[in-house]
Amino acid sequence: MKTLLQGRVEFVELTDNWSMKVDVKWTKRWFTTSVTSRQLHLKSDFESCALTQAHVLSFISRSDTFNFSGKKSAYSELLLESVETQCLMDSKNASIKLEGKCLIFKGSVRKKDINSLSNIFKLIEMLQNNIDSLDSTTSRS
């Protein structure tokens, strides 16, 4: 990735409860990452919702501002309150969606910042664990 000015890598990784489809594109300056994580054993589908950056409001208020669209649920509340989500939303043009049984993240980081790229995968894994634990507590109720 460091020697090529631009390129693309796609792969799928399976874990115990999740299937992750990863698509990373890079240019001279940016890594653009798209991760679609599908929960294999989720009891019911997620209520569709999305969290995106509000560019105009962020520019006016000079602080990070986000738009939430879709239906509220226990999972969307988890997204809104999670520290992992806040860190993921620090990426350029970041968005996080829940659709069907999938958690979808899209965002970009600078090519010089390899640590942020690896942190994206760690944060998504932590968010998946939070969803798993919420799913197990709601299925017991």
| Domain ranges, ordered by start, for the chain | 7-140
pLDDT tens profile 56-83:
555 565 666 678 889 999 999 999 899 9
Q: Tell me the residue type at 32.
A: T
> In sequence order, which residues have a C-beta less than 8 Å from that of residue 14 and are 6 or more positions away?
20
pTM for the complete prediction?
Answer: 0.86
Q: Any idea how long the chain is?
A: 141
Over 90: is that where the pLDDT of 37 sits? yes
Q: What is the mean pLDDT of the chain?
A: 85
Which range in 24-28, 38-42, 54-58 is most confidently predicted, on average pLDDT? 24-28
Question: Tokens 């197990």 appear where?
Answer: 136
